[in-house]
């Protein structure tokens, strides 16, 4: 069974058809790319999958269960985690706390145990902290765990968002332009990093990216979007050779 | 200790408890309320009616008062917390005034404008200080658990909080209920300290005072809230003659704080002796590297 199925999705903002009949099926364990010019509707697709927007029309199923009309937190608890194009960290909190917050579901204690530190509280908190430190080690931010998240350099903030997403134990990870603002070397590193977490966390990944090399070297399959509709779908090689893609994408890059 | 000093300490304690509740709500969840005096009134009247009219023991009244306030907050929260920030603030303001008017008009039960008198003097300094310490400790631990962290996540980035699976609506309700319970406790203690309550004691300026205190102490600092409460309760006592200008001074203090240090007295930090030690280390141990980090991974 596919992990995510989107069928005939539409999202209109007044007259703007941000998503116009978009369909995709994600097989478990693969890495998918979603590319397209600026304003093609990529982020809007993420926002509809994660419940921030309710689609105008269409269906979205995660493991056979519809996510339509569910609150974003419910969809997160169903196993979808994401990062944001314009980073949304808990800016005034520490790096470690940013990740710990995402482990709230691992904290099984009640409100009175929390206020009195009785019962499961201490042990439970220890376990969570351990898990989060491991996650920070994986993304390479362990050294900075006490720093204020909002003060981190841009690239580190992106990695922290990924660590925070992983802390929710997702089965599907959505990354919105993870390599944005990175130079060539950094984005090559990021490719290896994403391959790493893909393997170690048993993930299916759907990512939006403008860096072509990045998408081509990382993704099993790529969907190309323009004006809210899919114009091509296939392996990196197939997509690269598709004339419609070349035209739409280069057209998009011009005004980027 | 003189009765006067004792009285000031009890008043400080009562205000600290109410302010702690607002601190959780406003400082840590970024929900502004101008109606928490309404919850104080509910705690005060509920507990006082219990002890005076039904002869209930004081501890029972101290538990029931805050619980009723919290239940009312749950109902109000369900109706209003989904509204955007400003609208929520306005509804709390309306709520506070409605509660006051309700107690004013329910004369057979509350004594109306004449107030409710003959309340037994049960709030001793010992009880006030003890409960304040418990309230502080409870709030402190609460904020350092998943509950407090979820509230701070809402304060920092509500969309991201939802995206990591936090039911933001539910946790806002928790925050609101706890702030109401704290206000209710403060009200119950107040009633059994003054032995007399009337609706005017829980008016809009009282609500505003609670929120202003939190802003002055620093949004996101529990110890800052306590510090500000002590200052704002004790200073007017010392400068009795200026007491009439209390609200004016509060307003001035807020303007000065917002201009000079928008994060309040304590910012997001908690009061600790750590900076003093760090300073000491810097001055006297300059040559020693302070700490070497673990394995450098
Ligand atoms: N909340 C909104 N209200 C109105 N219009 C919106 C909203 N969100 C997105 N849009 C519009 O929908 C279209 C698609 O936007 P979207 O952000 O999904 O594009 P994108 O493919 O992610 O672009 P980029 O590569 O620049 O991030 C744009 O025309 C945008 O202006
Ligand atoms: Mg986008």
pLDDT in tens, B194-226: 999 999 999 999 999 999 999 988 888 999 999
Mean pLDDT of A73-77: 97
Name the closest-CA residue to atom 18, ligand 1: A41
Can you tell me the distance from the alpha carbon of B16 to that of B233, in angstroms, rounded to the nearest whole number?
Answer: 9
Q: Band of the pLDDT at B274, cuts 50, 70, 90?
A: low
Three-state SS at B252: helix
Buried/exposed code over B24-37 (b: 16+ C-beta within 10 A; e: otherwise): bbbbbbbbbbbbbb
The token duo for B209 is 């005072």
A156-213 per-position pLDDT tens digit: 999 999 999 999 999 999 999 999 888 888 889 999 999 999 999 999 999 999 888 8
Strand partners of residue A25 = A5
> Residue A115 is nearest to which of B142, B152, B156, comparing CB atoms?
B142
Binding-site residues on chain B for chain A (CB distance < 8 A):
137-139, 141-142, 145-150, 152-153, 156-157, 159-168, 174, 220, 268, 293, 296-297
Three-state DSSP class for residue A31? strand
Q: What is the per-residue pLDDT for A224?
A: 93
Distance from CA of B238 to the nearest CA of A (A): 35
DSSP SS3 for A80: strand
How high is the pLDDT of residue B292? 37
Chain B residues touching residue A115 (CB < 8 angstroms): 137-139, 141-142, 145
Give the whole-angstrom CA distance, residue B92 versus residue B77. Answer: 9
Domains, chain B, ranges and CATH? 2-296 (1.10.3470)
Report all structural domains of chain A as residue ranges with CATH numbers, in order of start.
1-79+170-256 (3.40.50.300), 93-167 (no CATH)
Q: Quick count: other Cβ atoms within 10 Å of Cβ B270?
A: 15
**Which residue intervals of chain A are DSSP H helices?**
42-49, 72-77, 95-101, 111-116, 121-139, 154-167, 184-200, 212-218, 236-241, 243-254
Who contacts A227 (Cβ-Cβ below 8 Å, separation ≥6)? A17, A20, A40, A41
ipTM metric: 0.92
Count contacts between A and B (CB, < 8 Å).
Answer: 102
Q: How many CB atoms lie within 10 A of CB B274?
A: 10
Q: How many angstroms away from the CA of B154 is the closest CA of chain A?
A: 9
Other Cβ atoms closer than 10 A to B287: 5
Test mutation, B81, B135, B160, B185, chain A, max A CBs within 10 A: B160
Q: Using the mean position of ligand 1's atoms as its centre, give its distance from the Cα of residue A9 in Å.
A: 15
Q: What residue's CA is closest to ligand 1, atom 30?
A: A39
| Of residues B39, B24, B15, B274, the one with CA closest to residue B151 | B24
């Amino acid at each position: 069974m596919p992990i995510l199925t989107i069928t005939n999705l539409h999202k209109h903002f007044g007259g703007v058809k941000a998503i116009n009949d978009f369909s995709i099926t994600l097989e478990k364990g693969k890495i998918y790319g979603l590319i397209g010019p600026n304003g093609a509707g990529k982020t809007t697709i993420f926002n509809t999958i994660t419940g921030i927007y309710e689609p105008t029309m269409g269906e979205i199923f995660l493991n056979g269960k519809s996510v339509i009309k569910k609150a974003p937190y419910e969809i997160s608890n169903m196993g979808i985690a994401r990062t944001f194009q314009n980073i949304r960290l808990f800016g005034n909190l520490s790096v470690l706390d940013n990740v710990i917050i995402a482990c709230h579901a691992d904290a099984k204690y009640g409100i009175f145990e929390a206020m009195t530190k009785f019962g499961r509280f201490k042990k439970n908190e220890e376990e969570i902290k351990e898990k989060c430190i491991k996650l920070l080690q994986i993304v390479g931010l362990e050294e900075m765990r006490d720093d204020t998240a909002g003060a981190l350099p841009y690239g580190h903030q992106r990695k922290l968002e990924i660590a925070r997403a992983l802390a929710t134990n997702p089965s599907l990870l959505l990354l919105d332009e993870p390599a944005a603002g990175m130079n060539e070397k950094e984005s090559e590193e990021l490719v290896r990093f994403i391959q790493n977490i893909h393997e170690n966390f048993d993930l299916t990944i759907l990512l939006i990216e403008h860096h072509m090399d990045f998408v081509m070297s990382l993704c099993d399959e790529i969907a190309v979007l323009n004006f809210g509709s899919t114009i091509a779908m296939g392996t990196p090689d197939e997509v690269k050779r598709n004339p419609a893609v070349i035209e739409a994408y280069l057209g998009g890059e011009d005004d980027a | 200790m003189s009765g006067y000093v004792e009285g000031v300490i009890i008043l400080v304690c009562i205000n600290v408890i109410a302010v702690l509740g607002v601190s959780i709500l406003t400082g840590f969840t970024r929900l502004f309320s101008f109606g928490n005096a309404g919850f104080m009134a509910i705690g005060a009247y509920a507990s006082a009616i219990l002890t005076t009219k039904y002869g209930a023991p004081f501890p029972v009244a101290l538990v029931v008062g805050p619980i009723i306030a919290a239940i009312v907050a749950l109902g109000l929260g369900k109706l209003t917390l989904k509204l955007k920030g400003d609208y929520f603030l306005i509804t709390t303001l309306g709520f506070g005034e409605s509660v006051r008017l309700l107690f004013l008009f329910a004369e057979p039960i509350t004594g109306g404008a004449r107030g409710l008198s003959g309340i037994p003097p049960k709030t001793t300094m010992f009880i006030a200080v003890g409960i304040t310490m418990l309230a502080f400790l409870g709030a402190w631990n609460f904020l350092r658990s998943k509950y407090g962290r979820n509230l701070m996540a809402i304060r920092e980035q509500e969309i991201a909080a939802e995206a990591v699976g936090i039911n933001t609506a539910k946790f806002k309700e928790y925050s609101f209920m706890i702030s109401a319970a704290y206000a209710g406790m403060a009200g119950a203690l107040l009633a059994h300290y003054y032995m007399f309550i009337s609706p005017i004691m829980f008016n809009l300026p009282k609500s505003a005072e609670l929120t202003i205190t939190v802003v002055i102490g620093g949004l996101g600092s529990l110890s800052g809230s306590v510090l500000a409460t002590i200052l704002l309760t004790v200073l007017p006592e010392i400068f009795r003659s200026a007491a009439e200008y209390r609200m004016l001074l509060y307003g001035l203090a807020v303007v000065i704080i917002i201009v000079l240090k928008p994060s309040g007295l304590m910012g997001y930090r908690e009061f600790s002796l750590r900076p003093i030690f760090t300073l000491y280390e810097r001055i006297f141990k300059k040559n020693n590297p302070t700490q070497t980090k673990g394995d450098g991974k």
